[in-house]
Amino acid sequence: MECSCSSIFWLTAIALLLVLVLKKISHISTKSLPPGPPGWPVIGNMLDLGGVMPHQTLYKLQSKYGPVMWLQLGSVGTLVVQSAKAAADLFKNHDIAISDRKCPDAVKVHGYNQGAISVCRYGPYWHLVRRLYASELINKQIDGMASARRKCIDDMIWSIEEETEASRARGGLGEVVVSKSLFLMTFNLMGNFMFSKNLLGSDSREGHDFFDAMGNIMEWAGKPNVADFLPLLKWVDPQGLRRGATKDMARALMIVAGFMQERMNARCSEKEMIKRDFLDALLEYEGDEKEGPDKISNQNIKIIIMEALFGGTETTSSVIEWTLTELLRKPEIMRKAQAELDSVVGAKSKVEESDINKLPYLQAIIKESLRLHPSVPLLIPRNTLKGIDYLGYWIPKNTQVWVNAWAIGRDPEFWDDPLTFKPERFLDSSIDYKGQHFGLIPFGSGRRMCVGMSMANRVVSLAVASLLHYFHWELDGSIPPETIDMNERLGITLRKLVPLKAIPRRRRKDSTESLCGLRTV
């Protein structure tokens, strides 16, 4: 009798369990995956990405499959989100579920994916580094670095003037390669945040070596990698991307290690610290092991520094270059921006950060540039921590999530005349790029949005204002503005395929005297 009762109990329990399982399966089966192109055996939709500009290819595919699309990239299921409405639902309702990362194989070398905040797993370490960035970059140093920003931008203006004069001395028209001066400015600015000094200059061999290694790493990391979608090929590394990244990242890490050792030697010798910077904050961190480690390892400190130099330099300089390019295509917009500057700044030799909030048209220009030219067109891939019910579709756990910020900036349901550069659209609008207006998310949204957004905003605004205040920009007379090459090159960030060359002309007769006072010690 006891055996019979026991059997009945277990049979009933098993039956109930089966009912629950079948109910769960039935629930999932009623939810289909989003639409998408049919795939091939093994490789799935890898060929549908096409070429080296996947953000453009995906944008074109949405006319057939809609703004929410499914791709099977080898063994990796991928959700593609390409409209403001779809992005709003994703970030508002599923931000925690998509807070993990899918890290490309080429940037897993030397433990980069474990130390870098942009690609590390969602967990205690990410929370720790995010808090440090918020404390040091946003709260403490964003205002404290105002003089460093001013100095780096002054040096940029001076270098442009020198390059222009050198071009004319060679019999040229005074053309400058704009991206060169922009990159040096942003790189040295990040160097001041990290190390309280310029990293690129006539006396900095390490800075130039790092610059070279960084350019190579951007190339390795930016190329589509079949090993990301077919894991068995990771050990073969058929495109050589992992091997190249391993070599160049080792170079960059060695240079950063030298900067760190120099700082630690100074601390050991008890030299008076004139200024505390982000490297000091990383070296001094002590936790309680309740959330994350009690100390940050030296390897992870090197990676954090390297990541900040990569991200802060490349993204900011590319935004400024695209903005100047659009202004050269539309000279009437440049003239309106300069008229606003003349009204607000007047005869002052420098634009100050306190002037920026009085320049709404300039701010509208920058927003419009970010709408059409986000530095990271496909936001860094997310990874679902669990299955989610999204817009009537079932998205399984461990799905890669691509948010196409480039396509969202061209969403015709959100933007009027979306392919036209028209800053006026922002003048009577509250839309900004801080992650809450989902038609404009160049820095992402939610927990994993770019931690350097506030700093980038200040640098881009002051740099663009200064470039327009000091110079009027022209093209070679043989190049009609509408024919400027607007083709893109995708590495870690989206840059112009053909670097912008332009002729800066002094806007005022007192420019010589003003420029002579720029280089302060």
Task: Summarize the annotated binding site for heme as residue ranges.
Answer: 450
Long-range contacts of 450-455 (CB under 8 A, 24+ apart): 450/311, 450/315, 451/117, 451/130, 451/133, 451/134, 451/137, 451/138, 452/133, 452/137, 452/308, 452/311, 452/312, 452/315, 454/137, 454/138, 454/142, 455/137, 455/138, 455/142, 455/145, 455/193, 455/312
Helix (H, G, I), strand (E, B) or coil at 224: coil
Which residues fall within 8 angstroms of residue 479, CB to CB, at 6 or more apart?
Answer: none
Closest of 60, 62, 55, 74 to residue 35, by C-alpha: 62
Cα angle value 386/57/313 (rounded, 5°): 75
Return the H-helix or E-strand segment holding 301: helix 298-329
Distance CA 195, CA 198 (A): 8
Torsion angle in degrees (nearest 10) through CA of 106, 205, 154, 187 = 10
74 with 42: CB under 8 angstroms?
Answer: yes
Packed helices 241-268 and 298-329: angle between N→C axes, nearest 10 degrees: 110
Residue 431 in tokens? 């839309």
Residue type, 187: F
Q: How far is CA 326 from the centre of its chain?
A: 20
DSSP conformational letter for 138: I
Which residues contribute to the annotated binding site?
A: 450
Helix (H, G, I), strand (E, B) or coil at 78: strand
Half-sphere exposure of 318 (CA within 13 A, CB side): 26
Cα angle value 386/387/390 (rounded, 5°): 125
Which residues fall within 8 angstroms of residue 283, CB to CB, at 6 or more apart?
Answer: 260, 263, 264, 267, 301
